[in-house]
Amino acid sequence: MTNEAMESFTNVVDLLRKTNPQHPVYCIYPHVYRQTVEHFVNGFPGRVLYAVKANIHPEILRIFTEAGIREFDCASLREIEQVRESCPDATIYFMNPVRFKGDARTAQEDYGVRHFLIDHPSGLAPLIEEINPGNSVIFARMAVSHASALTNLSAKFGAKPENIPSLLKAIAASGAEAALAFNVGSGVKDPEAYAYAIGIVHRVLAELPFKIRLLDIGGGFPKSYPGYVVPPLENYFERTRIAAEELPLADNGELLAEPGRALSAPGMSAVTCVLLRKTDRVYLNDGMYGAFWDLRVKGQLEYPCRAYRNGELLQGEKKAFRVLGPTCDSDDELPVRIELPADIDVGDHIEFGTIGAYSLSGRTDFNGFYSDRVVTISDATALPPV
Ligand SMILES: Cc1ncc(COP(=O)(O)O)c(C=O)c1O
């Protein structure tokens, strides 16, 4: 099934020929997303919660649900509302230790949420006040980072491993089921990072007088980008599976993962248009405050791309260009020079692939530029630039 309310084109050439877009367009390749989700769900040795912060577009939620995602990691009540609207039967996890007052109550009473998270003893009482602990699972989030991650997700949230046993005991004493979560970072380059964190979990669990059932190993599963090449996901799944085998979980113990980037990056491209060319500088209709928001993170440098002129692929000799966005901010420039056809010019289009993660969800309307046109690509043989 496709969403009939959305604009759909056979492929990007069809989009360009029919509409010659002057504003940025995000293209969803449903077949790429389906394959990506099925690959992850079949390969990961546990339950897969999609971290919707990476891309919460309703069409993506719909495709992911169709492809086998039933559980969603949300960070706010707004995300929970959006997921519930798109996926009425979803199981939703509210996995942020910081919430607005009353939101945990609303999440539980109005949206059936049963899974919550804290990372400090001070977070327990305010949460328990709002939910029925007897019907809830509360995760303790452990801080653990790894040098191979693009971003550290334990600098702000997470209790030190030595404080986790007492936190888990306090959760259990409250009447809720105690569970454990960690996040080794985003864009984790080395599968060993998960084994390292699970090793710490092993030591923590050995200090507990009871066994936990659920271990959530977070997100961080990466996607290769030009200049940021990572091992296949199988290596992460296998390393995790082996490391977790020895864990003293309860008999019905389960692993959970919260992938965002690995699921949302592959099936989306952004089609931009050249507004101005000055020698080796190309100014696009979108930039670091829009589709390229994720490139502010050091390490990931660019996306694969291809150029078009008058709806035809533009080929020929290439040259490295500085690529800049449309805003008046000097920082609105892609971090590295991009190889483009040497004669690229005003009105040409450039499609950037694997841009589904942290693009739509990070874009701003700075300077009045805001890309909001999302279309689907119907030809199952069409592929975004890779
Ligand atoms: C709690 C939590 N879970 C999951 C994710 C998803 O991470 P990734 O997109 O690297 O898989 C993040 C990213 O910020 C996060 O903070």
Q: Which two tokens stand for residue 338?
A: 């991009």
Sorted by where each begins, the domain ranges of the chain are: 8-27+267-377, 30-264
Rounded Cα–Cα distance for residues 289 and 297 (Å): 13
- The phi-psi region of residue 188 (left if phi > 0; otherwise alpha if psi is between -120 and 50; otherwise beta) is beta
As assigned by CATH, the class of the 30-264 domain is: alpha beta
Q: Has residue 105 got a pLDDT over 90? A: yes
117-128: average pLDDT:
98
329-346: average pLDDT:
96
Å from CA of 357 to ligand 1 middle: 11
Q: Has residue 203 got a pLDDT over 90? A: yes
358-377: average pLDDT:
95
| Atom 5 of ligand 1, residue of closest alpha carbon | 219
Amino acid at 83: V
- The phi-psi region of residue 158 (left if phi > 0; otherwise alpha if psi is between -120 and 50; otherwise beta) is left
Q: Has residue 334 got a pLDDT over 80? A: yes
Ligand 1 in contact with 177 (CB < 6 A)? no
User: The domain 8-27+267-377: what is its CATH number?
Assistant: 2.40.37.10
Q: Has residue 123 got a pLDDT over 70? A: yes
Rounded Cα–Cα distance for residues 170 and 162 (Å): 14
Query: Tell me, what's the pLDDT at 45?
Result: 97
| pLDDT tens-digit readout, 229-254 | 999 999 999 999 999 998 999 999 99
Taking CA atoms, 170 is separated from 97, 166, 174, 367, in Å, by: 15, 6, 6, 48
Question: What secondary structure letter does DSSP report for 209?
Answer: S
| pLDDT tens-digit readout, 292-332 | 999 998 788 899 999 999 999 999 999 999 999 999 999 99
- The phi-psi region of residue 308 (left if phi > 0; otherwise alpha if psi is between -120 and 50; otherwise beta) is beta
Amino acid at 78: R
3-state secondary structure string across 141-192: EECCCCCCCCECCCCCCCECHHHHHHHHHHHHHCCCEEEEEECCCECCCCCH
* SS3 label, residue 239: helix
Ligand 1 in contact with 185 (CB < 6 A)? no
Mutate which of 48, 188, 258 for ligand 1 pocket (most atoms within 8 A of beta carbon):
258
Taking CA atoms, 94 is separated from 53, 73, 181, 352, 361, in Å, by: 12, 6, 12, 32, 18
Ligand 1 in contact with 261 (CB < 6 A)? yes
Mutate which of 44, 49, 52, 53 for ligand 1 pocket (most atoms within 8 A of beta carbon):
53
Q: What is the CB neighbour count within 10 angstroms for residue 22?
A: 11
Amino acid at 254: E
196-220: average pLDDT:
97
